[in-house]
């Protein structure tokens, strides 16, 4: 880039035009805040919906039903389901949400039999409390980390949602994105605590298969088994089910990538404009530097370095603000009982900084090239 000894010179040039530099850094920070926030949102959606070859879970739902309140399946389907070849384990679940539409503040209860907790807890890390306490109280709840932070709950607290009153027994962090924003309770308790079908009726079955390569075939076999029953089923891989339930959200988030790249173009325009104005104001200074022995290539690198420093400062500020907003906001988007948590990862922050610096380089290339090719005599004649 440029010799280390010349970095103070570059910083001094930026400091001489403090107002312009501050406004440019502020504009870059706003654009990079939006870019990082959009990237975090897209990452959360991808983690919740992108299938992988290792996926082993299927979701069995009532056919032609979407909101959990409308999906009702007999619990006795369990025994028939587990007899199907390839089904390793099936878990009946009652799902209750306080809002079935897309929202940033949804509390989702999932009721499951106590004996099936071990199947899910393999992906969990207990942050507070313990799972044994959950087994000793019928109204105990295990909260995902995102839900606990958003509601500011801790072990021992009680809360009510959708008419269900529970006590927090443990708070967990999970490798499965859906676990982060739910409260796991006892199935019988949730069936009795909510109005509706009551005991013997569940919302869905979570099915673990023995061979991930046969996921689609096993799903078809399950649907064929119950096709002629009064309550036929629709079975999909878990992540495909989430993507279908939150289809509108996925489409909206897909569109936001254009917003993200629009922010990058805004950064390019801001930094480019600032550097062009800065170079125009220093035409005679560049002539003096050339007279003292500074070559055109070195001047060009110093100008590009200004763009990099502006991009780095604005990118760091914008990324830091985005990180604070996401961390303290605990945002998650939920629809029909399925959640996508917005989490800021280091990879997203580093990508934002790299993009900001890269844009700074690109923005400085044209004015740097022009300044390096300008003749000394023409510089002195310039206004």
Altogether, the residues listed in the chain come to a count of 383
Residue ranges in the chain assigned as alpha helix (H): 7-16, 18-49, 77-82, 117-121, 131-136, 145-151, 187-193, 215-225, 238-245, 247-281, 283-291, 296-329, 346-373, 376-381
- The answer to whether 44 and 342 are in contact (CB under 8 A) is yes
Dist. CA 114–CA 8, nearest whole Å = 65
Nearest Cα residue to 233 out of 92, 112, 57, 71: 71
Residue 311, sorted as left (phi over 0), alpha (psi -120 to 50) or beta, turns out to be alpha
Could you report the per-residue pLDDT of 98-154, keeping only the tens digit for each? 877 767 778 889 999 988 888 888 888 899 998 888 988 889 999 998 888 888 899
Find how far residue 178's CA is from the centre of its chain.
12
Type and span of the H or E element at 174: strand 164-174
Q: Which residues of the chain have pLDDT under 50?
A: 383
- 280-322 pLDDT per residue, tens: 766 666 666 666 666 767 777 777 888 888 888 888 999 899 8
CA quadruple 189, 194, 197, 199: dihedral, nearest 10: 10
Backbone Cα Rg of the chain:
29
Burial of 273 (0-12, 13-18, 19+ CB in 10 A): middle
pTM (two decimals): 0.74
Distance CA(328)–CA(312), nearest Å, equals 24
Return the bridge partners of 339, or none: 334
pLDDT of residue 165: 92
3-state SS assignment for residue 96: strand
Predicted pLDDT of residue 333: 73
CA distance 174 to 166: 21
β-bridge partners, 173: 125
Other CB atoms within 10 Å distance of the CB of residue 22: 12
């Amino acid at each position: 880039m440029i010799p280390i000894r010349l970095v103070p010179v570059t910083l001094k040039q930026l400091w001489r035009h403090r107002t312009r530099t501050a406004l440019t850094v502020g504009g870059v920070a706003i654009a990079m805040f939006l870019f990082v926030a959009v990237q975090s949102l897209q990452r959360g959606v991808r983690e919740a919906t992108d299938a992988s070859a290792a996926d082993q879970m299927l979701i069995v739902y009532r056919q032609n039903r979407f909101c959990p309140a409308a999906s009702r399946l007999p619990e006795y389907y369990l025994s028939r389901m587990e007899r199907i070849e390839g089904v390793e384990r099936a878990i009946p679940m009652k799902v209750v949400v306080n809002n079935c539409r897309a929202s940033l503040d949804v509390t989702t209860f999932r009721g499951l039999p106590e004996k099936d907790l071990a199947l899910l807890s393999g992906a969990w890390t207990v942050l507070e409390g313990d799972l044994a306490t959950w087994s000793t109280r019928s109204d105990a709840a295990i909260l995902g980390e995102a839900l606990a932070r958003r509601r500011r709950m801790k072990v021992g607290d009680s809360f009510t949602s959708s008419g269900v009153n529970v006590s927090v027994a443990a708070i967990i962090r999970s490798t499965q994105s859906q676990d982060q924003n739910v409260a796991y309770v006892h199935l019988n308790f949730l069936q009795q605590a909510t109005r509706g079908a009551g005991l013997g009726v569940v919302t869905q079955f979570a099915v673990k298969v023995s061979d991930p390569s046969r996921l689609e075939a096993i799903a078809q076999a399950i649907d064929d088994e119950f096709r002629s029953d009064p309550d036929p089923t629709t079975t999909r891989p878990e992540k495909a089910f989430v993507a279908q339930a939150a289809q509108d959200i996925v489409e909206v988030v897909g569109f936001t990538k254009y917003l993200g790249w629009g922010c990058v173009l805004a950064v390019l325009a801001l930094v480019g404009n600032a550097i062009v104005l800065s170079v125009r104001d220093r035409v005679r200074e560049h002539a003096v530097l050339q007279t003292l022995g500074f070559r055109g290539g070195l001047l060009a690198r110093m100008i590009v370095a200004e763009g990099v420093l502006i991009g780095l400062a604005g990118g760091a500020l914008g990324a830091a603000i985005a990180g604070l907003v996401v961390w303290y906001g605990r945002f998650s988007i939920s629809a029909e009982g399925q959640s996508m948590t917005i989490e800021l990862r280091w990879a997203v922050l580093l990508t934002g900084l790299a993009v900001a610096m890269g844009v700074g380089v690109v923005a400085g290339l044209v004015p740097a090239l022009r300044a390096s090719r300008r003749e000394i005599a023409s510089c002195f004649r310039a206004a």
